[in-house]
Amino acid sequence: MPQSCRRLTSELESLKVLKEKLDLELIGLPQTGKLEDLVLVRDIKNNLEQKLKEFQKQIVVIEWQGFYFDSLKMPGAVEKKKNYHKIQALNEHTVAVRSIQVLPDGQIVSGGDDGAIIIREVHQQGGYYKKQILKTKRADIPYALQVLPDSRIIVGYDSGAMIIWELDQVSNCYKAQVIKEGEEELGLVNNLRFLPNGRIIAGYEKGQIVIWDLDKEGKYFKTQTLKEGYGMPLNTMQVLPDGRIVSSYAEGPIVIWKTDEQGKYFEDQVFNAGGVETVFALQVLPDGRMVAGYNKSGNIIIWEADQQGFYYEGQSFKESDSGYICAMQVLPDGRIIAGYSRGGVIIWEVNQQGKYVKAQTLDEKAEGRYFSAAASLSVLPDGRIFSGYGDGRILVWDGDKVD
């Protein structure tokens, strides 16, 4: 971040110099009236406007990165470690763990197909223990879970309902605020994202994406529904550093949504539309590149953006015999942690040639049990990794510090 600030300060000074040059030319323009002077002023003005747009874009990216990684409790770096090994197994869930997130105070929250949202805090000795279980009266299954920067937990359920769980400071227990009751026509809520302006973006199994805004009383209301028009189920969804939404659907297409001057989203671009594979996991690197994990080959593809923001396929890599991608987590330094259908968790990092290579496999088969899919992942700033599995276990991994 300090390096980014120094670069922006330098660019701001160059913008000031360019503005002063434009002002001087404008002052002298009425006296000459020459065509070449008009052309010069026009060129300076166009140059200034272009540089200003680029400067503003960098500001947006830095602000987003600060919000994004802070809301996930990921500061400017996650400690790099090697030789990972299991340090704890958490067995409170009885079936698949769909999501794991970190609360701002370091507590861990997970959601499982048993209908339970489990909050765990740290023992004085360093291990995690169950503190509280949150369930709806109907025992809905929490399909999507997102931690907000103020420690509230927003959950989307298989019934289509959305609930915000907030800690009551008096009772020290979480209380539910229902945003929306279940709606069968939309299907279950399988994706949730939160924007810096307070908006909630909810993705539904049947393909719709709903934008929720806050009113003056702090209550959420629906402002827009995005229908991508392909009639395909929504698989996964993320938000790019510039605020655009990216969503992937069954049978391959990836759609990017952009806002107009009124703040309404519209379809900006579609790619991978002819793909025969489905993107099961999607993450965004701090520089705006997208990391897509596929369901058949187990490929991970880096989608690069050109200067106009249009995406094209970059490098791809995979690990043989690991199965397909179930979950991914990207780190601020570009490392990728991927969970696979056959139970392995692989840490990928960039080598000196700029190519992704496998750093280590965290394989729960070594624990002597029948393996199940690594369905969810989360990472702490100190480098510890949490992996949730189809049989309900969560494994905590730690390693040795890399100097």
What is residue 70's predicted lDDT score, i.e. its pLDDT? 43
What is residue 305's predicted lDDT score, i.e. its pLDDT? 87
CB under 8 A, 24+ apart: contacts of 356-363:
356/300, 356/302, 356/315, 356/317, 357/317, 358/319, 359/82, 359/335, 360/82, 360/83, 360/84, 361/319, 362/84, 362/86, 362/387, 362/395, 362/397
Question: Distances from the Cα of 67 to the Cαs of 4, 59, 60, 287, in angstroms?
Answer: 15, 12, 11, 14
CB under 8 A, 24+ apart: contacts of 337-343:
337/377, 337/379, 337/385, 338/281, 338/293, 338/300, 339/373, 339/374, 339/375, 339/376, 339/377, 339/387, 340/298, 340/373, 340/374, 341/373, 341/374, 342/371, 342/373, 343/371, 343/372, 343/373, 343/374, 343/389
Amino acid at site 117 = I
Instruction: Compute CA 126 distance to the chain's CA centroid, rounded to the nearest angstrom.
Output: 28
What span, in angstroms and rounded, lies between the C-alpha atoms of 352 and 253?
32
Which residue from 255, 186, 265, 181 is spatially nearest to 224, judged by alpha carbons?
Answer: 265
The sign of the CA dihedral 348, 350, 356, 360 is negative
Phi-psi bin for 78: left (phi > 0), alpha (psi -120 to 50), beta?
beta
Q: Got the DSSP string for 222-265?
A: EEEEEE-SS---EEEEEE-TTS-EEEEETTS-EEEEEE-TTS-E
- Strand ranges inside 250-352, DSSP E: 254-259, 265-271, 279-284, 290-294, 300-305, 311-317, 325-330, 336-340, 344-350
Strand ranges of the sheet holding 300-305, from the earlier edge strand across to the other edge: 279-284, 290-294, 300-305, 311-317
Lookup: tokens for 392:
């309900």
| 197 three-class SS | coil
What span, in angstroms and rounded, lies between the C-alpha atoms of 179 and 175?
13
Series of mean pLDDT values for 10-residue runs along the chain (403 residues): 57 75 68 68 76 64 47 57 93 93 88 95 83 87 88 91 89 87 76 84 90 86 79 86 86 87 90 74 88 89 88 91 90 91 93 94 62 88 92 94 86
What is residue 300's predicted lDDT score, i.e. its pLDDT? 95
Contact by Cβ (8 Å): 129, 169: no
Contact by Cβ (8 Å): 337, 319: no
| 57 three-class SS | helix
With residue 35 as reference, give the H or E element that holds it: helix 35-71
What span, in angstroms and rounded, lies between the C-alpha atoms of 162 and 178?
6
Quote the Cα angle for 380-384-389, to 5°: 95
What span, in angstroms and rounded, lies between the C-alpha atoms of 365 and 87?
15
Task: Tally the residues of the chain.
Answer: 403
